[in-house]
């Protein structure tokens, strides 16, 4: 697990769309999908329910989102201190 994957996951969760997240992150949509899929494989969890081009967080995804936001905020704070 790395910060980049957490950031991508968080953006997808907030946007509610892989395509919208890709736009915000200035990435190609397939790269965003691959990053999230790799994170799911690493954690051995499904983070999103995927149905007919719609996504929603699983319970595990919601827990990860809360923790990833805390981690990303802490990293941003640390970066601003140096």
The per-residue pLDDT for range 13-71, each reduced to its tens digit, is: 999 999 999 999 999 999 999 999 999 999 999 999 999 889 999 999 999 999 999 99
Return d(Cα 12, Cα 1) in angstroms, integer.
Answer: 16
Residues 6+ apart with CB under 8 A from 10: 65, 68, 69, 72
pLDDT at 15: 97
pLDDT at 82: 85
Q: What is the pTM of this model?
A: 0.94
């Amino acid at each position: 697990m790395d910060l980049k994957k957490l950031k991508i996951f968080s953006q997808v969760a907030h946007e509610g769309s892989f395509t919208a997240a890709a736009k915000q992150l200035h990435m190609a949509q397939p790269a965003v999908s691959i990053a999230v899929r790799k994170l799911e494989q690493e954690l051995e969890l499904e983070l999103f329910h995927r149905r007919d081009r719609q996504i929603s967080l699983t319970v595990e995804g919601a827990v990860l989102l809360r923790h990833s936001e805390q981690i990303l905020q802490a990293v941003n704070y640390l970066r601003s201190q140096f």
